[in-house]
Amino acid sequence: MIGLWAGPYFADVHGLNANERGLAQAAMGLAMPIGLLLMGPLERRFFRRSAMISAGAALSAAMLVILAIWRAPPLTAALGLLVGLVLFSSYPVLLVTEARMLFPDHLVGRGASTVNMAQVLGSSLLPFLVGLVIGFVPMQKLARPKAAYRAGFAVLAASLVLGLAGWLLLPRAKA
């Protein structure tokens, strides 16, 4: 989101210039390490790992759903939702750790690699899919309309919800 769609979204929908877009994306960029640094302490002190993963995915999807259904969020709300999206999207680091518990000892390397590969493949295919969806909506006055980005946010939200459903239905190892 930070590197591919946030800049065009802020330019087309909110009319931000390059400097302003850079500041907005910097705020999103700061949320990333903060989220990553919070994952470990939160998991150790308050929550089970699987609950952290579920909450992160659900909160990330919620940010995207709000962006998809809100017709004209003010800039501060849109930025807050995108910063929240990046912050709550830090949970995948816990997925690989959780994968350790899903496989017997002799398959841990293969299993964790498969889980990581699935994350990477999904992360590489989703921008392409979102680009197709956003590109399907015709440009107006040299910019993509709000509806294009709202559709892109909806695709990302639906993907996260499907992934979360799969995660919740996944068989769990007995601890």
The reply to whether 23 falls in a domain is: yes
What pLDDT score was predicted for residue 86? 96
Model confidence at 103, in pLDDT bands (50, 70, 90)? confident
Report how many domains make up the chain: 1
For residue 94, tell me if it sits in a domain.
Answer: yes
99 near 112, Cβ under 8 Å?
A: yes
Query: For residue 173, what pLDDT band results from cuts at 50, 70 and 90?
Result: low
Full-prediction pTM beyond 0.75? yes
Residue 55 lies in a domain: yes
- Label residue 174 by pLDDT band (50, 70, 90): low
Identify the pLDDT of residue 175. 53
In a domain, 117, yes or no: yes
CATH code, domain carrying 78: 1.20.1250.20
Interacting residues of 128 by C-beta distance below 8 A, sequence separation 6+: none
Residues spanned by the domain of 33: 6-169
Mean pLDDT value of segment 43-61: 89
Rounded CA gap, 13 and 152, in Å? 13
Is residue 146 one of the residues assigned to a domain? yes
